[in-house]
Structure 1
């Protein structure tokens, strides 16, 4: 039994009921079932054996999309955390097994602590399977003290940070990203550490059939196939918008691989660099001086082709809605200033540390265009635009969330002057008769066959042959 002693709970840890309020009923039910099965007494006993001192496991927890995290207080020493991996809380095509996520996360943490100065938690123990005393996959690791950027209070959380501190934060983050990208490998995939030798090896990533890949081209073909699989079940939808997206996005992804010849450049055979896959404000833990104390959530980290690496951190995203009001327009101007500032910091100050593809960034205009459904400006670097567009195309779970991508994707793949109608003609030629959302009428205008096309962000009908 754990010895009784007093400890102060960190403010981010919440009660079960408070946390469940943030989920749907179905999500809450899955997590409740998982937590009811977890043996916290066994977790306390295991921790006590490892550290040879009394401990207390909090009944409250923090949660993310892929994890439930409990704080553990030691009688003598800094707090630690137990990261438990339940079945997927929010299933998407990226949903991977708890075993894979736990094994991959622990391996990357151990690799980074031995090969870089990137601040990540120390791993004390890990088990990727549920058949253990705790009855859940877990990582017992160091607690990173501080607050994440999300705690600073706004959607784009860097604004409350003083100017002089913010620029220092940009340099700090750029330096850490450069270190990650200098971790380079001969294959594309996840990471595994041999428990007997301590050696690291790139292995299959559960999100990508056929991995580990030895060529970038194989990786990009797999991405296109993943998108097709993601939308497969929506092709029979009676909702024309859903059906339109379920056909258009997989098709444009495959044309993207072919037209832009991904993987055929000099980097096709590597080297391949470490990519966190979620450089986001909620995964950066800051100290009181705004220095980055730690970077967390490496479960989806992979070795990827250099031209697939993110160009600036994802937390720089503009707002989701169009600038319908003067206040929104003012915010977009402010976002653009911030993009310019971080671009200067990364490109002018940190360029020598980054792989060459990083220097050709279009995220500023690309993200502003996507989030405001404006695609009026795309420069000649269509490859970068297409890659980042594709990231957004698979980011959301449901097809109707992808409004605003069509024109950007078409222009990125076929050139800035290509119209949607021209792209749909290419699609119809590729996919065959009737696949451009053909619908038999009994419509108001008589017995005609109609084609559903995407135009100006909405589905509109056209009489076949018109």
Structure 2
């Protein structure tokens, strides 16, 4: 029976450990009895060095677990690694550091991957960010959240304003050709608070058409240049320290370029109520 670490893919663990040791110059191990962490698109294991430092080994799902073709997965891996390296080299935005990557299986480890630093601090999702009064509590093991004050939310949102302002300084000559399809669902949800379903499919398509028509207008007046934006900003992808300083923003796998007006819109981060949203909006604007 194979070790649990190989649940999602058979890969050359010895090659991964050897590569990690060469890159950092210290001995390292992986816990082969532990299941990889996973999302719908990726699985993750951790490389632990003898001084306690951990690196993240992140791979796209493959085979029956993959919602994308191998070709698309390869493009996403290459795109995310390139985005992270660009941000690390040209901005002060806190993102993981990429130590090695490959978009194909043509490497000694045998799978597409990104080997990167581990985010420090804890996920903003650990905090009671949304203040949702109707949160489901029927589970046998309900989630418990750390308290966060309005001042704490204000501090986080003002930092986001500064981060988006810095992103806006980096312009690109073309809009991402994949952007329209990958972002239409998220934009529709923000407009109508609805999901793609047969009951509202017509509204979904109408909203998408409006977005197609709006993009040229949103991009006008900015020298026909575009800015880089994070495709999936929510509390689970944002890490903070004990003082709520943002320490890392992860998961740039489908980063795209788009109109600056979109970048400078206040991020919802997974949902504050409308009344609770007003103050963070002001603080986000203050950070710009």
Flag the 1:175–1:252 CA change in 2: closer, same or farther, 3 A: closer
- Counterpart in 1 of 2:260? 306
Using the alignment, how far apart are the partners of 1:296 and 1:123 within structure 2? 12
- Counterpart in 1 of 2:284? 346
Flag the 1:162–1:248 CA change in 2: closer, same or farther, 3 A: closer
Instruction: Provide TM-score, normalisation by structure 1.
Output: 0.49
Using the alignment, how far apart are the partners of 1:98 and 1:143 within structure 2? 22
Using the alignment, how far apart are the partners of 2:12 and 2:229 within structure 1? 34
**Matched residues, number:** 258
Aligned residue for 1:43, secondary structure, equals: helix
- Counterpart in 2 of 1:91? 67
Mapped contact 1:86–1:136 kept (Cα < 8 A)? no
Shift of 1:345: 0.9
- Counterpart in 1 of 2:167? 180
Instruction: Provide TM-score, normalisation by structure 2.
Output: 0.76
Aligned ranges 1:421-432 → 2 under 5 Å: none
Query: In the alignment, which of 75, 93, 101 is matched to residue 126 of structure 1?
Result: 101
Query: In the alignment, which of 164, 167, 177 is matched to residue 154 of structure 2?
Result: 167
Please state if 1:40 is matched with 2:16: no
Using the alignment, how far apart are the partners of 1:91 and 1:310 within structure 2? 30
- Counterpart in 2 of 1:56? 29
Larger Rg: 1
Using the alignment, how far apart are the partners of 1:83 and 1:148 within structure 2? 18
Per-residue deviation, residues 267-292 of structure 1 (Å, max 9, x unmatched): 48621011111111010011122111
Query: Which is bigger in relative contact order (C-alpha 8 A, separation at least 6)?
Result: 2
Aligned residue for 2:281, secondary structure, equals: helix
Per-residue deviation, residues 243-265 of structure 1 (Å, max 9, x unmatched): x755564355336645xx54156
- Counterpart in 2 of 1:404? none
Aligned residue for 1:97, secondary structure, equals: helix
Query: In the alignment, which of 248, 272, 277 is matched to residue 294 of structure 1?
Result: 248
- Counterpart in 2 of 1:151? 126
Per-residue deviation, residues 89-108 of structure 1 (Å, max 9, x unmatched): 4738x997221111111111
Query: In the alignment, which of 78, 84, 88 is matched to residue 53 of structure 2?
Result: 78
Aligned residue for 2:254, secondary structure, equals: coil
Unpaired runs of 5+ in structure 1?
Answer: 1-14, 18-30, 190-204, 209-221, 228-240, 319-334, 354-466
Flag the 1:138–1:290 CA change in 2: closer, same or farther, 3 A: same
Aligned residue for 1:313, secondary structure, equals: coil
Runs of 4+ in 1 over 4 A off after TM superposition: 153-159, 244-248
- Pairwise CA RMSD: 3.3
Aligned ranges 1:24-423 → 2 under 5 Å: 32=7, 34-35=8-9, 37-59=10-32, 60=34, 61-76=36-51, 78-87=53-62, 89=65, 91=67, 97-152=72-127, 160-189=147-176, 207=178, 223=181, 242=198, 245-246=200-201, 249-250=204-205, 253-254=208-209, 257-258=212-213, 262-264=215-217, 266-267=220-221, 270-309=224-263, 311-318=265-272, 335-347=273-285, 349-350=286-287, 353=288
Per-residue deviation, residues 200-233 of structure 1 (Å, max 9, x unmatched): xxxxx5x36xxxxxxxxxxxxx549x88xxxxxx
Flag the 1:317–1:163 CA change in 2: closer, same or farther, 3 A: closer
Mapped contact 2:130–2:270 kept (Cα < 8 A)? no
Per-residue deviation, residues 96-131 of structure 1 (Å, max 9, x unmatched): 722111111111111111111101111111111112
Using the alignment, how far apart are the partners of 1:117 and 1:74 within structure 2? 26
Mapped contact 1:167–1:345 kept (Cα < 8 A)? yes
